[in-house]
């Protein structure tokens, strides 16, 4: 019964959520687009001409927002390159290259390398999150592992001057995750956009300029 009530409360909040309504109006697949939009408006992350990789891109709202920022070439198309990666399928987005697979596996990496064609990435976006169990220590370890993967990906594929924006959670294990960022990047900051739900402990870490590019 409690679970049923919880689901009903979530549904009520979701339907009445202003960001859900905005997403429907603006054509975004998820309200998460506005989290990236808020951060981008302050930090000026996305600029025409960039190569952007969106890790854990499904359902695609971050890729949609990035695509809109890179649009505006005469005759349509975008000025830049956007690559989305996810284990889950994603409905196509105009001008976004999507690779379905695990970016730790050789086949996905080879497809990525073909698209990059020797070029390095300007911006890595990661809205990835594990399935949370509710057990704080176990969940913290899963979040930390995902952050480590995103940082390792950035170190391998990003320009030294590039940036990584990654979702994590403010709670058990947060200091460890922050430490990983500080070891990898020259400047590190945290962002909590208004579009994040009040009840959510999610926070976004922004690392700029790699300390040890590969």
Residues making up the annotated binding site for S-adenosyl-L-methionine are: 60, 62, 86, 102, 127
**Tokens found for residue 9:** 């409360």
Residue 24, Cβ neighbours under 10 Å: how many?
11
Residue 91 and residue 28 in contact, taking contact as beta carbons nearer than 8 Å = no
In degrees rounded to 5, what are phi and psi of residue 149? -65, -45
Q: Reply yes or no on whether 167 is catalytic.
A: yes
* Annotated binding-site members: 60, 62, 86, 102, 127
How many angstroms separate the first and last alpha carbons of the chain? Answer: 53
Please, what's the largest Cα pairwise distance for the chain?
A: 56
Question: Active site residue: 5, 120, 167, 211, which one?
Answer: 167
**Contact residues for 54 (Cβ-Cβ < 8 A; gap 6+):** 62, 63, 66, 82, 83, 84, 85, 125, 126, 127
Residue 27: CA atoms inside 13 Å, Cβ hemisphere, count?
6
User: Which of the residues are catalytic?
Assistant: 167
């Amino acid at each position: 019964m409690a679970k049923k009530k919880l689901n009903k409360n979530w549904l009520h909040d979701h339907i009445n959520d202003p960001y859900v309504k905005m997403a429907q109006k603006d054509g975004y697949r998820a309200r998460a687009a506005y989290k990236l939009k808020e951060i981008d408006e302050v930090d000026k992350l996305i600029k025409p001409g960039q190569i952007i990789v969106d890790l854990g891109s499904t359902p695609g709202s971050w890729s949609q927002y990035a695509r809109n920022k890179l649009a505006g070439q005469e005759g349509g198309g975008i000025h830049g390159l956007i690559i989305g990666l996810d284990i889950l399928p994603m409905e196509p987005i105009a001008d976004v290259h999507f690779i379905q697979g695990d970016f730790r596996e050789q086949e996905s990496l080879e497809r990525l390398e073909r698209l990059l064609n020797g070029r390095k990435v300007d911006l890595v976006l990661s809205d990835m999150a594990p399935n949370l169990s509710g057990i704080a220590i176990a969940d913290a370890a899963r979040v930390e592992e995902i952050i480590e993967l995103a940082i390792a990906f950035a170190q391998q594929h990003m320009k030294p001057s590039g940036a990584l924006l990654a979702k994590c959670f403010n709670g058990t294990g947060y200091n460890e995750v922050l430490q990983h960022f500080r070891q990898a990047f020259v400047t590190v900051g945290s962002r909590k956009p208004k579009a994040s739900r009040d009840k959510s402990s999610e926070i976004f870490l922004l690392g700029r300029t790699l300390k040890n590019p590969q």
